[in-house]
A and B are shown apart, each in its own frame.
Chain A
Amino acid sequence: ETGVTQTPRHLVMGMTNKKSLKCEQHLGHNAMYWYKQSAKKPLELMFVYSLEERVENNSVPSRFSPECPNSSHLFLHLHTLQPEDSALYLCASSQDMELSGNTIYFGEGSWLTVV
């Protein structure tokens, strides 16, 4: 139990569907992240939020839309995805955005399959 909870753990969606991934952290952290993990590739940073404000959009296509309503919740809204978007989507949090000495803690991930 890392204190970062993601739902759903598994999701299968069609290319025309709209779905959302949810993340909640119980650590009192101020920064939250979305990462994408594809097979045989390093983790890719997608979005960074600090105190509910987005500070990074790492060239992510607009079919991925993040939302951070408060410092403990983070969503990733999905719309008209492509099969190549199938991956493990990891939510993470850290005490602050300044990482030197501030570890990032990951959730268990949401396995997404786009059909």
Chain B
Amino acid sequence: GESVGLHLPTLSVQEGDNSIINCAYSNSASDYFIWYKQESGKGPQFIIDIRSNMDKRQGQRVTVLLNKTVKHLSLQIAATQPGDSAVYFCAENINDYKLSFGAGTTVTVRA
């Protein structure tokens, strides 16, 4: 079946550096994508979303890039902070109400 996947299960980044988390999806019909952050012991928290008619969207310290040609989604975090340590999930909207989630990338910020 079609699914969303992440390139790397873990990412270690130095505090203050920029982080890039990647995600590959296979459903070319998906038109909406979301990034979530999940801290230990908590539920997933919405970070940023993007529709398929865009290729870039910026939030506060975060940018999502969408490359529909290669079905690739990325989340960039600027000036990574210790509070950014978490598991990051991408999700694609595969039909009306269904989101397909990746397995997650664990980001660890080194002081």
Chain A interface (Cβ < 8 Å from any Cβ of B): 2, 4, 6, 31, 33, 40-43, 45, 48, 50, 55-56, 90, 94, 97-101, 103-109
Contact = CB atoms under 8 A, between A and B. Distances in A.
Contact of A103 (B31, B49, B96, B101): B49
A43 B104 CA distance: 10
Contacts of A31: 97
B63 interface: no
Interface of B: 3-4, 31-32, 34, 36, 41-46, 49, 51, 89, 91, 93, 96-104
A100 to B, nearest CB: 4
Nearest to A94: B97
Given A100-B31, A101-B51, A106 B97 contact: no
Which 7 pairs show the lowest CB-CB distances between chains A and B?
A106-B43, A97-B97, A42-B101, A100-B32, A43-B101, A108-B43, A106-B44
A99 B93 contact: yes
B32 A101 contact: yes
Contacts of B98: 45, 56, 99
Contacts of B102: 42
Contacts of A103: 34, 46, 49
A107 B44 CA distance: 8
